[in-house]
Amino acid sequence: MLTSAISTTEIQNTLAAQKNFFDSGATQSLSFRREQLQKLYDAIVQNENEIFAALHADLHKSKFESFGTEIGLVLGEIKHTLRKLATWMRPQKVGTSLFHFPASSYTQAEALGQVLIIAPWNYPFQLLFSPLVGAIAAGNTVVLKPSEIAENCSRLFTRIVRETFSSEYMAIFEGGVEVSQSLLAEKYDMIFFTGSTPVGKVVYQAAAKHLTPVVLELGGKSPCIVAADAPLATTAKRIVWGKFVNAGQTCIAPDYIFAHKSIVQELIAELAKAIEAFYGSNIEASPDYPRIINEKNFNRLVQLISDEKIVYGGKADKAALYISPTILYPADAKDAAMQEEIFGPILPILPYENLESIVHFIRQRPKPLALYVFSKNNKTIDYIMQNTSAGGCTINDTLIHLANDNMHFGGVGESGIGGYHGKSSFEAFSHQKAITRRGLWLDVPLRYPPYNRISLNSLKWLFKNVM
């Protein structure tokens, strides 16, 4: 694991140089921002094979999965941003009250300034570079902190960033908790953090010292509801894909299933069928099935498997950091796997009889990052959507609401604060400055003291009818 130490002086010198660079106005023009986005795009394409190799070394990810869930998403986001940036940067005209006549109003996005981006290890490429696209687009200088746990990725991304950008514009610091805390001790204009809810609280406290705005992309237990009328073969394939991609180490993976009791057995059979169709009967030999990131997480996950509830899988090999796709049934709220975010290839299934009980269960717990429902019945879907809260939802599939640059992605409550992707990323890293421009050719004196030009009743009439 990476433990490289960096000194406070090194961080402070870098931030001082970045402040000078930002204050020079160099990052403000559309052409500069577009140029940096293109440089990032080109650097990713040039280093694609090295990125594949690092993701494989850290997580045993296949090239297909690495491109589909990491590299491709970031390249797509850069293209989308390059296409839309000029429009996003334009002032947005808004209405103005007649009271202020003659005047017009508009909002203008301005860069926040110096931003810090801290990333986790599970999608080490996507979760470092996707927020970076927004930070560049909005005209900020950036400090990046990749996760020390995906160490091959961390080393490679540090090289790529240092070869591509000057540190007065974009700096990257490798390391673990200590480095992260040294970085957090300094003042930024915005902090973008992706990681666990407990560390999110540490980041929020550090930010509060300087009143720094944050985006916190956190985790939690994301439920997946399978109603009695769901077509089970397709439902099972879509759940297996979303749950076992990256061996379950996905923040929005279905964490557990609520299945209607009338279809549970059939669903389990279909899930098993889908797992073997995807990864074969010797899953350990599949090139498409990733590994657990490290021994610490392996040990944590093994503890969550209650042997007596295993209805599929349950194989684990510590030397290979392999845990097979594992289904637990009948799970209940007291199980170890139901006490914390699983973040691995373990899928508890809880039977349910009525939707009211599910809604009650979900509402008693922290608001999830994602929620899934499989049903053909609009009433069932609407009932769940209207009576539960979650960062985002996909109906009749899993994960895909994340991969839409036209929608914001983020949590709610304990699963996060703020969001990003596409225009939302640009907005997350910008301040919307509100500007009213007044004409000088007319100056109605009614608002000036002494307040005897009109009566209070006339003022009330104006507020009611003119405002």
So which residues are the catalytic ones?
Answer: 217, 251
Supply the Cα-derived Rg of the chain in whole angstroms. 25
**What does the per-residue mask of binding to ligand NAD show for 165-184, with x meaning CB under 6 A?**
-----------xx--xx--x
Q: What sections of 347-438 are H helices per DSSP?
A: 355-363, 378-387, 423-428
Q: Which is nearer to ligand NAD, 258 or 420 (CB)?
A: 420
Interface pick for ligand NAD out of 77, 255, 341, 414 (rule CB under 6 A): 341
Q: Which residues have C-beta within 8 Å of that of residue 184, sequence separation ≥ 6?
A: 116, 191, 202, 203, 206, 207
Q: Least Å distance between CB 120 and ligand NAD?
A: 3
Report which residue type is found at 418.
Answer: G
Q: Does residue 294 belong to the site contacting ligand NAD (CB under 6 A)?
A: no
Q: Which is nearer to ligand NAD, 168 or 255 (CB)?
A: 255
**Residues in region 395-424 near ligand NAD by CB under 6 A:** 411, 416
Query: Which residue sits closest to ligand NAD, CB atoms considered?
Result: 219
Interface pick for ligand NAD out of 89, 119, 172, 263 (rule CB under 6 A): 119
From 282, 286, 288, 284, select the one nearest 319 (Cα to Cα). Answer: 284
Residues 43, 302: Cα–Cα separation, whole Å? 39
- Contact at 8 Å (CB) between 283 and 289? yes
Binding residues for ligand NAD, rule CB under 6 A, total 29
Report the side by side order of strands in the sheet with 92-94.
92-94, 103-111, 430-438
Residues 412, 398: Cα–Cα separation, whole Å? 18
**Residues in region 220-279 near ligand NAD by CB under 6 A:** 251
Q: Does residue 298 belong to the site contacting ligand NAD (CB under 6 A)?
A: no
Q: Least Å distance between CB 422 and ligand NAD?
A: 15
Binding segment (CB under 6 A) for ligand NAD, from list 97-105, 146-154, 377-385, 449-457:
146-154
Q: Which is nearer to ligand NAD, 55 or 127 (CB)?
A: 127
Q: Which is nearer to ligand NAD, 89 or 247 (CB)?
A: 247
Size of the chain, expressed as the number of residues it contains: 467
Q: Which is nearer to ligand NAD, 134 or 416 (CB)?
A: 416
Binding segment (CB under 6 A) for ligand NAD, from list 102-110, 190-198, 260-268, 378-386:
190-198
Please give the C-alpha separations between residue 67 and each of 59, 162, 278, in angstroms, as whole numbers: 14, 23, 18
Locate tokens 């969550």: which residue?
A: 304
Binding segment (CB under 6 A) for ligand NAD, from list 214-222, 239-247, 433-441, 454-462:
214-222
Sort 327 into a burial class: Cβ within 10 Å, 0-12 / 13-18 / 19+. buried
Interface pick for ligand NAD out of 132, 153, 369, 384 (rule CB under 6 A): 369
Pairing of strands 370-374, 310-312: unpaired
Q: What residues make contact with ligand NAD under the rule CB under 6 A?
A: 118-122, 127, 145, 147-149, 176-177, 180-181, 184, 194-196, 199, 202, 217-219, 251, 341, 343, 369, 411, 416
